Amino acid sequence: MIEAVGPIKRKFAPWDDPTLKPFIRFENVTKRFGDFTAVDNLTLDIYEREFFALLGPSGCGKTTLMRMLAGFEQPTEGRILLDGKDLSGIPPYKRPVNMMFQSYALFPHMTVEGNIAFGLKQEGMDTSNINTRVAEMLELVKLEKFAKRKPHQLSGGQRQRVALARSLAKRPKVLLLDEPLGALDRKLREETQFELMDIQMELGMTFLIVTHDQEEAMTVSDRIAVMNHGIIAQIGTASEIYEQPASRYVADFVGDINLIDGTVTAVDDDNVTLHCAGVDATIVAEAGAGEVAVGAEAGFAIRPEKVQISLEAPPAGTPNVLSGEVWDIGYLGDISVYRVRLAGGSIVKATVANLTRIVERPITWEDKVYLTWPADAGVILLK
């Protein structure tokens, strides 16, 4: 069982408050390695006490961005501000940020205690204070019994905790977490995600996490920046990113999505009409980000869980209906995924929550089915 600690989470949205100054600011930051541009003219604000995630596939520049904040890399152009102060020229060992490394980077020749105390010793803190702080940290990560062990005598999860305690020990203004849970198994990872959130709340620090795991980013963070090829594709809360993806890239990277291509035939205040010749259908939906004009090539994006699947044809005149036959069924326990083959041969996925312990499904292979969805369930995204 996990015990709830710390205050109950309240709504927290400093980015919506125009009077607040950002705590960390990346200002037109570019980083090139030879011919390769890892970060491309990127500007990003992160607020105090925020739990911020950088999400993207490997090579998207998220780790480079974090390493520039830690001071391991220097921006080719632009600058990074922390609490209003320009960090350029300040070496890593003088920056008030600490990092938890993906590999944990625990000092193998030091005990757990020694690892946690390392940063404090560099500060010149006196021994009794160091001992108190180390004890606190050990308690925080529940490793009191392992203080005298060396890293190689610990399990993966325990090592992860030592790394966390070490990076927190100095009470940095900002904690950087580089794929912190990547090496843990799924169960432990989920538990630890919530623990991280509790610790962040309790210590009131700013956390910046780098991850390629969208679930992790969505679970722990207040806001997520989805990165692609050195630029930010979208910034927003987890639900904003998921429900209102700004681009096909974001829609595709975060969660599962169905994309149906077509041509815009009409645009009014709220809705866009899309003619999808490939599947022989017309779809009306809200426009996503960007100006949508008549005649533009666009796509309709909808999450599989928002698609309803039915054996019976909806009443005539119901908008947004697709029909096809069940091609494949995936049973995942909590849900089942239906892969429906449309007229033109393209596949649309629909997920259905398995609410009962039925063995026989009402809808099965080769059934002719109708797919419908609420008017605001999907979004039109430009190509």
User: Which of 27, 30, 83, 105 lies at the binding interface for other proteins (CB under 8 A)?
Assistant: 105
Sole window of 75-83, 104-112, 210-218, 317-325 interacting with other proteins (rule: CB under 8 A): 104-112
CB of 110 to other proteins, least distance (A): 9
For residue 186, CA distances in Å to 183, 189, 270 come to 9, 5, 41
User: Which of 13, 20, 28, 123 lies at the binding interface for other proteins (CB under 8 A)?
Assistant: 123
Residue 203's Cβ-side half-sphere holds a number of Cα atoms within 13 Å equal to 24
d(CA 350, CA 305): 6
Sole window of 162-170, 230-238, 257-265, 374-382 interacting with other proteins (rule: CB under 8 A): 162-170
Which DSSP symbol is given to 189? Answer: H
CA nearest to 101, candidates 5, 199, 177:
177
Q: Is 42 left (phi over 0), alpha (psi -120 to 50) or beta?
A: beta
Which DSSP symbol is given to 84? Answer: T
d(CA 44, CA 181): 24
119 forms part of the interface with other proteins (CB under 8 A):
yes
Q: Which positions from 167 to 196 touch other proteins by CB under 8 A, shown as an x/- string?
A: x--x--------------------------
CB of 119 to other proteins, least distance (A): 3
Which CB sits closer to other proteins, 73 or 216?
A: 73
CB of 55 to other proteins, least distance (A): 22
263 Cβ contact list (under 8 Å, min separation 6)? 274, 275, 277, 295, 296, 297, 298
Q: How many residues bind other proteins (CB under 8 A)?
A: 24
Which CB sits closer to other proteins, 165 or 274?
A: 165
CA angle centred on 307, ends 306 and 311, rounded to 5°: 145
Beta bridge partners of 79: 27
CB of 122 to other proteins, least distance (A): 4
CA nearest to 253, candidates 69, 102, 381:
381
Query: Residue 171, Cβ neighbours under 10 Å: how many?
Result: 14
Q: Which positions from 62 to 101 touch other proteins by CB under 8 A, shown as an x/- string?
A: --------xxx------------------xxxx--xxx-x
CB of 115 to other proteins, least distance (A): 9
Which CB sits closer to other proteins, 162 or 379?
A: 162
Q: Which positions from 216 to 235 touch other proteins by CB under 8 A, shown as an x/- string?
A: --------------------
User: Which of 108, 295, 315, 333 lies at the binding interface for other proteins (CB under 8 A)?
Assistant: 108
Q: Counting Cβ atoms within 10 Å, is residue 231 exposed (0-12), middle (13-18) or buried (19+)?
A: middle
User: Which of 28, 74, 122, 318 lies at the binding interface for other proteins (CB under 8 A)?
Assistant: 122
Query: Residue 196, Cβ neighbours under 10 Å: how many?
Result: 23
Which CB sits closer to other proteins, 109 or 145?
A: 109
Backbone angles phi, psi at 63, to 5 degrees: -70, -40
166 forms part of the interface with other proteins (CB under 8 A):
yes
Cβ-contact 351, 258 below 8 angstroms: no
118 forms part of the interface with other proteins (CB under 8 A):
yes
- Residue ranges that bind other proteins, judged by CB under 8 A: 70-72, 91-94, 97-99, 101, 103, 105-109, 118-119, 122-123, 166-167, 170
